[in-house]
Amino acid sequence: MTGLYEEFRIAVHSVWQRRWLAMAIAWAICVLGWLAVALIPNTYESQAKLFVQTKAILPDNTGISIVERQKQIDTVEQTLTSVANLEKVVRGTDLGKNLVTPREVEGAVGGLRGAIKIKSEQDNLYEISATMSAGDRSDGEAATLARDVVQKLIDIFVEANLAGGRGETSDTLRFLDEQLAKRQKELEIAEQKRVRFETENLGMLPGIGSVSQRLESGRVEINQIDSQLIAAQSALAAINGQIAGTPQTIAGGAGGGVNPLAQAQGELASMKARGLTDQHPDVVAMQSQIAALRAAGAGAGTNFGVSNPAYSSLISMKAERQAAVTALQSRKSALQGEMSAMVAKQIQEPGVAAEQARIARDYEVLKTQYDKLLADREQVRLRGQVETETDAVRFDLITPPSSPRTPIAPNRPMLLVGVLLAGIAGGIGGAFALGQLGASYPTAAKLEAASGLQVIGSISQMLTQAQRDERKRKLRMYLGSGGALVGVFLLLLMIEFIQRGSVV
């Protein structure tokens, strides 16, 4: 511990012996360092916070969904620092005041790109900042320019979101109108071609639809006619059976009265004509009555033939059902003839059906495309009205562009302190290094260690009064020089704070 203390005393003595050299080195370092710090231009930063709120009151298929709107905002955010937008900023602020050639504008755009920062702190909250260095402009101009750049970026951000969607809608509507006009012409040509083809092949293509469709429809109709024909023939056979069991005339009395037996027989025939079977209670009762009349001899006496009305009714019903059977057979024969003719012509001209199917298919495809384009055009038009007449996006400027009063860089007070400490350290270090290079020995022990000889004794320095006064004067000069160095430091620090307060 004693050795370390002794070494420290020796080092301090060595530096003190060369204190004027240390002071000169400190002054040189401080003057050069403070001059370099003074030449560093101030950099000012302006910040603003913008909140973007998306609204989707209408349904997604009518309005603009939140997802689509957020994608548009993200796209604008990513392209906000594009060359085109940065060129707008340069020309819209004092950055482009003295720029003439395109190369100068490109240089300003390149420098501006690194000075702008856009970050999203949270959902839909954006912070836009810009830094401007004083350089060849004053501090006040640099601070104002930083604020103007941020304001211009906000204007571009809002304009791109509001006008971008409307411009895109107009372009989309224009494109859809062109496509609709083109599809309409193609649809008219296809329709004319279809009509011309059907006119030229009128005998081959009766009705609506393709040949296979009409043949299938004919087969279905023939099956229906067959079912109806079987039913009509069955009804006709039933009528014939009833007619066979019904007498054409019935017996009448001499006095012009009707024979009860004949009257009962007529009623029985009428019941069977109505379709009643032999097991029907009315038929059974009537048959019992006829049997009783016959047993009583109700038909005896003078009789004469009278036309049976039930027989006449059955004949009329037979004629109607015969006509229905004939009509169904005629319709079936006609359909079979048409189908045979179509099959025969299809065999003779197999390409007609294929051509008709192709024309019909092309027409349906064009019509489907036209209808879809028409629906898309109406949807885009409605969405454009939604964007124009409603506030789909709302912009709230949470923090307007700030007008910086203090530079963010450099931290000149800290640099001034650092230069002062570096000057002091440099002066002490230089004096100590020069002392290590010298050939003198501050103590007897150092001399013994260096020479290897024993030192018998040492003589202290004796100073006269004049020498003491001279040393005091030099000490005062030395302390004054150190105080002047600190004073210059304090003066520079004061000037820095005064300049900061004068920035508008």
Judged against a pLDDT cut of 60, whether residue 138 lies above it is answered with yes
> How far is C-alpha 249 from the geometric centre of its chain's CA atoms?
93
- Average per-residue pLDDT in the chain? 77
| Residue that the structure tokens 């620092």 belong to | 81
What's the pLDDT score for residue 65?
55
Q: Are 305 and 251 in contact (CB under 8 A)?
A: yes
Mean pLDDT check: name the lowest of 100-104, 346-350, 355-359, 364-368. Answer: 346-350
* Cα(157)–Cα(89) distance, integer angstroms: 12
Judged against a pLDDT cut of 60, whether residue 167 lies above it is answered with no
152 and 299 together in one domain: no
28 and 147 together in one domain: yes
Q: Are 46 and 145 in contact (CB under 8 A)?
A: no
**57 pLDDT tier (thresholds 50, 70, 90):** very low
149 and 18 together in one domain: yes
48 and 135 together in one domain: yes
Q: Which of 404, 427, 451 is the last residue of a domain?
A: 451
119 and 254 together in one domain: no
What's the pLDDT score for residue 485?
93
12 and 113 together in one domain: yes
Tell me which H or E stretch contains 325: helix 309-348
Mean pLDDT check: name the lowest of 233-247, 339-353, 394-408. Answer: 339-353
Judged against a pLDDT cut of 50, whether residue 61 lies above it is answered with no
pLDDT digits (tens, 9 = 90+) for 247-292: 776 655 444 455 677 777 777 777 776 777 778 777 788 888 788 7
pLDDT digits (tens, 9 = 90+) for 123-132: 678 888 999 8
* Cα(381)–Cα(491) distance, integer angstroms: 70
Judged against a pLDDT cut of 60, whether residue 339 lies above it is answered with yes
Q: Which of 405, 420, 451 is the last residue of a domain?
A: 451
Q: Are 63 and 383 in contact (CB under 8 A)?
A: yes
27 and 120 together in one domain: yes
- On whether residue 178 sits in a domain, the answer given is no
Instruction: Read off the pLDDT of each residue in 108-123 and give the average, rounded to a whole number.
Output: 82
- On whether residue 432 sits in a domain, the answer given is yes
- On whether residue 298 sits in a domain, the answer given is yes
Sequence length of the chain is: 504
Q: Are 273 and 242 in contact (CB under 8 A)?
A: yes
Domain, as residue range, for 133: 2-170+391-451
Judged against a pLDDT cut of 90, whether residue 35 lies above it is answered with yes
Task: Show the tokens assigned to 52.
Answer: 């973007």
302 and 428 together in one domain: no
Secondary structure (DSSP) of 184-251? HHHHHHHHHHHHHHHHHTTTTS-SSS-HHHHHHHHHHHHHHHHHHHHHHHHHHHHHHHHHHTS-SEEE
Nearest to 488 by CA among 172, 171, 26, 155: 26
Across 44-58, 136-150, 157-171, 193-207, which has the greatest mean pLDDT? Answer: 136-150
Judged against a pLDDT cut of 90, whether residue 53 lies above it is answered with no
What's the pLDDT score for residue 206?
46
DSSP state of 294: H
Secondary structure (DSSP) of 414-474? HHHHHHHHHHHHHHHHHHHHHHHHSS--SSHHHHHHHH-S-----------HHHHHHHHHH
Return the percentage of the chain with pLDDT > 90, whole number: 12
Task: Mention every residue, 6+ apart, whose C-beta is less than 8 A from residue 380.
Answer: 169, 172, 173, 176
What's the pLDDT score for residue 299?
47
- On whether residue 242 sits in a domain, the answer given is no
156 and 253 together in one domain: no
- On whether residue 503 sits in a domain, the answer given is no
Return the percentage of the chain with pLDDT > 70, whole number: 74
- On whether residue 96 sits in a domain, the answer given is yes
In angstroms, how far apart are the furthest CA atoms of the chain?
202
35 and 130 together in one domain: yes
Secondary structure (DSSP) of 34-68? HHHHHHSPPEEEEEEEEEEEE---S-TTTS--HHH
Q: Looking at the whole model, is its pTM more than 0.85?
A: no
Structurally, the chain folds into a number of domains equal to 2
What's the pLDDT score for residue 85?
85
Query: Within a 10 A sphere around the Cβ of 266, how many other Cβ atoms?
Result: 20
Q: What are phi and psi of 46, to 5 degrees?
A: -115, 135
264 and 147 together in one domain: no
- On whether residue 462 sits in a domain, the answer given is no
What's the pLDDT score for residue 298?
47
Q: Which of 433, 451, 469 is the last residue of a domain?
A: 451
165 and 69 together in one domain: yes
- On whether residue 235 sits in a domain, the answer given is no
